[in-house]
Amino acid sequence: MLKRPRTLNTLIALALCVSLAACVSSQTTSFKIDDRDFPEKPDSFEIVVFEDELPDSEFTRIAHLNYHIEKTFFGPSGLKAAFDDLKKQARKVGADAIIEVKKTRSMLNETLIFNVSAVAIVFEE
Amino acid sequence: MLSKKLKIVSISLTTILLAAGATTPLHAGKAKVKPTSSESSEKETKRLKVVVEELAYSVDELQIASKQALVAIGCKIKKEQPDFIEAKRPNKIGVAVGSGGEILKINFKIIDENNTEITVATKKTMAGYVGQRLWSEELLENIKTILSEKE
């Protein structure tokens, strides 16, 4: 049986690893929808997530948050990372909680597109 | 024999990376998307798609919804003016074709206080052309969905 040279095998494996590692890209975006500036919250501040319902107390929407990931074949699902990232963005804009979480998933050729958006809010005193 | 095989592998890998848009040619950023005039509602070629529609929303409402819709499809907003948004989907490397590289432009024309004409244009660029999509129609639908959900 004809054996493939070791150098060639190594080269193919290396190319495959580089290619697959480069096939996941994520980006986060947030933009204000309220003119006021709110102080950034510390990392220890726990952002409450209202996935399916709205909070009982009065609130104001202050920013739109978005987490977008495009990946090919393998790679983490991205949902955990998405929520962690949304909470991080929420703290940065000075929010108390996030509401209206919306998840979408679509395909473009070989690429899986996964998007999570939410609205950052502050509770009115 | 070995060097011939290595040469073939090296050529194949270069081809895959170029197709995936791993490199961006200098002219990629200079691509222009010129929306059509307000009379036409749709214009489509292989590289460009423009859709125009009058919506019963103010320009401010449309601005916010447009930005939401753009980031949701992975765009990075490059320019932002009261009547104009320009965005680009960054190039991404894939196993075969990759994705991204499209340039999207949105124009707003105020009809009156509560009515605005919106023009959405997508243009494919050279880098990663195979993995690109004309997003105009889908983007306009997403904008309308976002606006209707807020009502």
CA B51/CA B118 separation, integer angstroms: 8
Q: What CATH number should be reported for the domain holding residue B123?
A: 3.30.310.80
pLDDT tens digits along B59-117: 999 999 999 999 999 899 999 999 999 999 988 776 666 778 899 999 999 999 899 99
Contact B35, B53 (CB under 8 A): no
pLDDT at B132: 85
Instruction: Count how many domains chain B has.
Output: 1
Task: With a cut of 50, list the residues of chain A below it in pLDDT.
Answer: none
ipTM of the complex: 0.72
Report if residue A39 sits inside a domain. yes
Residues 6+ apart with CB under 8 A from A125: none
Tell me how many degrees the CA angle A124-B67-B98 measures, rounded to the nearest 5. 130
In which residue are the tokens 């040469």 written? B7
**A9 within domain boundaries:** no
* Chain A CB contacts of B2 below 8 Å: 5, 7-8
Range of the domain at B141: 2-150
Q: Does B8 touch chain A (CB under 8 A)?
A: no
- Domain count for chain A: 1
pLDDT greater than 70 at residue B35:
no
Q: In what order do the strands lie in the sheet with A59-72?
A: A24-32, A59-72, A111-123, A97-108, A48-49
Q: Tell me the residues of chain A between 50 and 89 that have a Cβ less than 8 Å away from chain B.
A: 64, 66, 68, 70, 72-73
pTM (2 d.p.): 0.72
Whichever domain contains A51, its CATH number is 3.30.110
Per-residue pLDDT tens over the stretch B7-29:
665 555 555 444 444 333 333 33
Q: Which domain holds residue A97?
A: 23-123
Output the pLDDT for position B7.
65
Examine residue A33 and state whether it is found in any structural domain, yes or no: yes
Least confident of A47-51, B40-44, B116-120, B130-134: B40-44
Q: What pLDDT does B137 receive?
A: 92
pLDDT at A26: 82
Which pLDDT value is given to residue B2?
Answer: 52
